[in-house]
Chain A
């Protein structure tokens, strides 16, 4: 499913300054786009507009050619904090969306087993979220979207709470899932290496009001392996994006 933003601006009611100013961006079907930028640049706001949780002050957000009027099962967001239903087991969380679509219990169980297998968590089917690690929770949330064959998955700093080593494994798993199911992915992160490793394109945003500074294509072949993480090509692109952020004064906050 294609996502298109046309001259989108957004202002929070409590703040006079606009959070986003005149954003135009087209994300093709099955594309993996990463969005990076300094904190407070409106990355999450942008994602919430696409998710339908916020409405733009001006401009239009289109998903599959249709105006985004609210949240829907065609665009599922995975936030930094877990949004699993704590009172349902992993399997019940995954089956929730299917249940809403009137899928029979038998079929729901088959489907949830299938996706739990895909994320290597079949043993945790009956575990409650409190019994899962942060990384596992994220995977179950991804599975909750996968089981519905959701065409667009939005990730909002989803791996921030996951420790470094697991993060590497998760990034590979996310790539596997992406290559197998080919959803459109919008991946908001502040980890530049992660952005370059995963995405087809990296959108660099600048500060207050948030606007698109530049867009960098990543032409590295897929699947991107662990070895590519330290490759000179990847590091060169990462460096380029980093310089771009520095020149924007994104790091001035840190320097102060």
Chain B
């Protein structure tokens, strides 16, 4: 098991090694492909302010993700409440969802300035629009038997939603949550490109003007680290919350005896 766990890390190290080897051969100009050494130098040069930029991006993405998830779950559940709410919200959600959030950035800057509020709001809305659809379909797949059971035990509609539907849909929301987590970083960085004084997107944009490609690469790597850590955190939280649910993945991954000789 340990070998399997480290194989992913080994692959990452192999790619880093290849990158380092290509960069140190100097066949590609440094401007086009800065090596790991240059990136580490860039980190040292910008330390400690780079950490503040990283924290800025992380906090925006997380704030937007959390607010957006709550909003999305609320809207999704509301759409299931009755036909009237559905008719009211469905066109809105379905017309907001396909519009790329990036297209709205100029307006958000105009309305909210270059502070975090507008960025967080934009991330929230994008995440919410995606999750609302997930929630809506997940509710439709909840076993009618457990809803009947709750009703016959005396649950009101409100209780059914809060105590039965909400926990029941979490496993089905896992993929959506992981996707919007990545989305929140994309939108955070994109909005920092256009208007912000802090954040990794801002660092990348500033470095672009002066052609400091090593700093651009550093920014990219840091975004990757943030997104990866966020995904791991979400996955481990979900694994804990949905420990009651039956998963087929393990079953499928078990080696079948007849194939082994």
Q: Which residues of A contact B (CB under 8 A)?
A: 51-53, 70-73, 75-77, 79, 81-88, 96-97, 100-101, 128-130, 141, 144, 148
Contacts and interface: CB of A to CB of B under 8 A. Distances in A.
Contact of B246 (A79, A96, A97, A130): A130
A86 B146 contact: yes
B47 interface: no
A86 B152 contact: no
Contacts of B239: none
B209 to A, nearest CB: 52
B128 to A, nearest CB: 24
Interface string B218-261: 00000000000000000000000011111000000000000000
Interface stretch (B38-46, B153-161, B177-185): B153-161
27 contacts: A53-B148, A71-B151, A72-B154, A73-B153, A75-B152, A76-B152, A77-B148, A77-B152, A81-B145, A82-B145, A83-B143, A83-B145, A83-B148, A84-B149, A85-B149, A85-B164, A86-B146, A86-B168, A86-B244, A86-B245, A86-B246, A97-B153, A100-B155, A100-B159, A128-B243, A130-B245, A130-B246
Interface residues on B, range: 20 to 34
Contacts of B149: 83-85, 141, 144
A87 B153 contact: no
Interface of B: 143, 145-146, 148-155, 159, 163-164, 167-168, 170, 242-246
B146, B159, B167, B242 pick with most chain A CB within 10 angstroms = B146
A88 B153 CA distance: 15
Contacts of A141: 149
The 9 A-B residue pairs whose C-beta atoms are closest, nearest first, are: A73-B154, A83-B149, A83-B145, A71-B152, A97-B153, A87-B167, A128-B244, A71-B151, A87-B244
Nearest to B155: A100
Given A83-B146, A87-B245, A96 B153 contact: yes
A143 to B, nearest CB: 12
Nearest to A79: B145
A170 B3 CA distance: 47
Contacts of B152: 51-52, 71-73, 75-77
